[in-house]
């Protein structure tokens, strides 16, 4: 896939800042404390996964980082600027695909381009390339209801990538995919990430997926969420699926499983 606006040269001052900084964030939904106290820094171009039990607040955290929900306490900054609303440098894949039912798949993928008032004509070839990468280019003219759940999810990944955002927030993006497609999409995501220098925050329930994709895995405890463990995954890149048979890889998987079991009290 040909990158569009790639070689984004960042000013040195921005390069030195963390891409994302979450400081002492707390979130209450009325009386319910979803997030107790989370602090997290993600470096420019780092790939970080969040692992945590269902209901611990992962989607809540991601939605706040995206500027779509306000935290109750604490501060979230992107490239040093506090988040007060949605920002063009962010692309988000929601846990549910949320496609507009009356728009074709192509027009759904082009939605961020429209919101950001970018030239549509320039982005149609890129959207089509992304759809081909996700193996749904034959459905560009179809409506979301004509696609399966996994195909809709792949379309929503294309939508998050279309405007080439510097920061990708992905909330269990591969959960509706079969194992083989899931592995393929993971490798493809790494390829895009490596070719286009993106910062990724990736939520998953899969320890193996987190270990395979990430530079660092952050483990969250039960609600109200805090960070209970962080592990740097020091494995060579580029990574291919064969890495998952490697003993070093499996050592990380075991260590992560142990950390999760200890923190979640299994
Ligand atoms: N809009 C909302 N209003 C009230 N409570 C909410 C809202 N959204 C989430 N919650 C609550 O906040 C907690 C965290 O929810 P969240 O969706 O962030 O969890 P999660 O870690 O993403 O879970 P999962 O892995 O199942 O997707 C849950 O107890 C949930 O009931
Ligand atoms: Mg969630």
Question: Nearest-CA neighbor of 209 among 230, 182, 231, 236?
Answer: 182
pTM of the shown model:
0.92
Question: Which ligand lies nearest the alpha carbon of 57?
Answer: 1
Using DSSP bridges, classify how beta strands 73-78 and 81-82 pair: parallel, antiparallel or unpaired.
antiparallel
Ligand 1, atom 1: closest residue by C-alpha? 29
Query: Residue 213: how many CB atoms within 10 A of its CB?
Result: 24
pLDDT at 45: 96
* Cα dist from 168 to 158, 192, 230, whole Å: 12, 11, 20
Q: Is 204 in the pocket of ligand 1 (CB under 6 A)?
A: no
pLDDT at 176: 87
pLDDT at 261: 87
- Copy the structure tokens of residue 104: 């074709």
pLDDT at 196: 86
pLDDT at 8: 53
pLDDT at 256: 95
Q: For ligand 1, pick from 25, 31, 59, 219 the residue to mutate: most ligand atoms within 8 Å of CB.
A: 59
Q: Which residues of the chain have pLDDT under 50?
A: 1-7, 266
Structural domains for the chain? 18-89+166-264 (3.40.50.300), 98-164 (no CATH)
pLDDT at 265: 56
Q: For ligand 1, pick from 57, 72, 205 the residue to mutate: most ligand atoms within 8 Å of CB.
A: 57
pLDDT at 1: 46
- Copy the structure tokens of residue 153: 């999810």
Q: What is the pLDDT of residues 185-222, one digit of tens each?
A: 999 899 989 988 899 999 999 999 999 999 999 999 98
pLDDT at 262: 84
pLDDT at 74: 98
Buried b (16+ CB within 10 A) or exposed e, 93-130: bbbebebeeeebbbbbbbebbeeeebeeeebbebbebb
Q: Is 31 in the pocket of ligand 1 (CB under 6 A)?
A: no
């Amino acid at each position: 896939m040909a990158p569009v606006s790639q070689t984004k040269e960042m000013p040195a001052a921005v390069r030195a800042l963390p891409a994302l900084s979450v400081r002492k964030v707390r979130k209450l939904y009325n009386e319910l404390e979803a997030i107790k106290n989370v602090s997290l820094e993600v470096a420019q171009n780092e790939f970080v996964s969040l692992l945590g039990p269902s209901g611990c607040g992962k989607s809540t955290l991601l939605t706040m980082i995206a500027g779509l929900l306000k935290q109750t306490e604490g501060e979230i900054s992107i490239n040093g600027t506090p988040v007060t609303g949605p920002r063009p440098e962010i692309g988000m894949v929601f846990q549910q695909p949320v496609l507009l039912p009356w728009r074709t798949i192509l027009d759904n993928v082009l939605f961020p381009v429209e919101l950001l008032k970018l030239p549509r004509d320039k982005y149609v070839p890129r959207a089509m390339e992304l759809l081909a990468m996700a193996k749904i280019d034959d459905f560009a003219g179809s409506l979301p209801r004509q696609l399966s759940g996994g195909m809709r999810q792949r379309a929503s990944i294309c939508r998050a990538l279309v405007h080439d955002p510097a920061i990708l927030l992905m909330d269990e993006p591969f959960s509706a995919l079969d194992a083989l497609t899931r592995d393929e999409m993971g490798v493809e995501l790494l390829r895009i990430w490596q070719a286009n220098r993106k910062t990724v925050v990736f939520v998953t329930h899969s320890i193996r997926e987190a270990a395979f994709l990430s530079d660092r895995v952050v483990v969250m405890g039960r609600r109200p969420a805090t960070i209970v463990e962080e592990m740097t995954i020091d494995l060579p890149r580029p990574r291919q699926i064969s890495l998952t048979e490697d003993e070093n890889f499996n050592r990380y998987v075991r260590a992560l499983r142990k950390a999760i079991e200890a923190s979640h009290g299994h």
